[in-house]
Amino acid sequence: MTRAVRTLTRQKNLMIGGTVVLVIVLMAVFAPLLAPYDPINQADLLHAEEAPSRAFLFGTDTQGRDILSRVIYGARVSLSIGLITQCLNSLIGVLLGLTAGFLGKWWDDLVMGLTNIMLSIPALVLALAIMAVLGPGLFNVFVALGFTNWSYSCRVTRSQVLAARSLDYVVAARALGQGRARIMLQQILPNIVGPILVIATLGVAYAILTEASLSFLGLGAQPPTPSWGGMLSTAREQLFTAPWISIFPGLAIFVTVLGLNLLGDGLRDVLDPHTSRTRR
């Protein structure tokens, strides 16, 4: 136990990224307790575009709403979209990659052909096309992002299954007469969960960036729902007159994505000893 803790504490990326992500998660969970003002209803035009001060630490927007409160509540939107959509993507990608790598034959060709098609289309472009059909809205963002970024999880899972299906423990399970589903779920999947977890962590960061891009274009969370991308969109005209309206939501996106990337990089070093040795 002590050795495991020492190994984790030596990974600076893992500790820094994990700390940042933990702070963002706690901020989202306890938003009602941390936000000094109501992010939607407490709007006062007398305090519109007020610079950061003791009363408003991050300043106010064009409608006199506290930016700090909206940034805190915006974490809920970004994290929920990132986590839920990546769970859907991981579920689809792992299921397809697991079955394709283990069963092979025509199913493998079909899955990999579909995966290559998905990889050839940028996820943001595909999400924009889906949003153009479904229309703007938070629920439609879940649909658009939850089914467009599974190809990386699928490919990584398939490659891990191809390497694992010829190992001794899989051969032994076959010799004991275990079924295909049992071998895939009980023997192979627990032994390849490390790379899948790393891809999922990086996928959450990408989903947050994509959601911010959609909200910036007016296709994501609709006003007055606080969203980091939506806040950046409304702050375009005040970029020079009231820069704090765009600076703090932009910093929130930057810090969150950086923390998730550092966390994913640290998890890769811990779960993949070959990568750690190569870097040393």
In a domain, residue 20? The reply is no
In a domain, residue 204? The reply is yes
Tens digit of pLDDT at every position of the chain (280 positions): 565 556 556 678 888 888 999 999 999 999 999 999 988 888 888 888 888 988 888 988 888 899 999 999 999 988 988 899 999 999 999 999 999 988 888 888 999 999 998 888 888 888 888 888 888 888 888 888 888 888 889 999 998 888 888 888 888 888 887 888 888 888 888 888 888 888 888 889 888 988 888 888 888 888 788 888 888 888 888 888 889 988 999 999 999 999 998 888 888 877 765 554 444 4
In a domain, residue 10? The reply is no
As a three-state string, the secondary structure of the chain is CHHHHHHHHHCHHHHHHHHHHHHHHHHHHCHHHHCCCCCCCCCCHHHCCCCCCCCCCCCECCCCCEHHHHHHHHHHHHHHHHHHHHHHHHHHHHHHHHHHHHHCHHHHHHHHHHHHHHHHCCHHHHHHHHHHHHCCCHHHHHHHHHCCCCHHHHHHHHHHHHHHCCCHHHHHHHHCCCCHHHHHHHHHHHHCHHHHHHHHHHHHHHHHHHHHHHHHCCCCCCCCCCCHHHHHHHCHHHCCCCCHHHHHHHHHHHHHHHHHHHHHHHHHHHHCHHHHHHHC
CA distance 110 to 245: 48
Q: Are 193 and 91 in contact (CB under 8 A)?
A: no
In a domain, residue 1? The reply is no
In a domain, residue 131? The reply is yes
Q: Model's pTM, two decimal places?
A: 0.85
Q: Are 56 and 50 in contact (CB under 8 A)?
A: yes
The residues with which 60 forms a beta bridge, in sequence order, are 66
CATH of the domain at 272: 1.10.3720.10
Domains in the chain, number: 1
Query: Containing domain of residue 245, as a range?
Result: 66-279
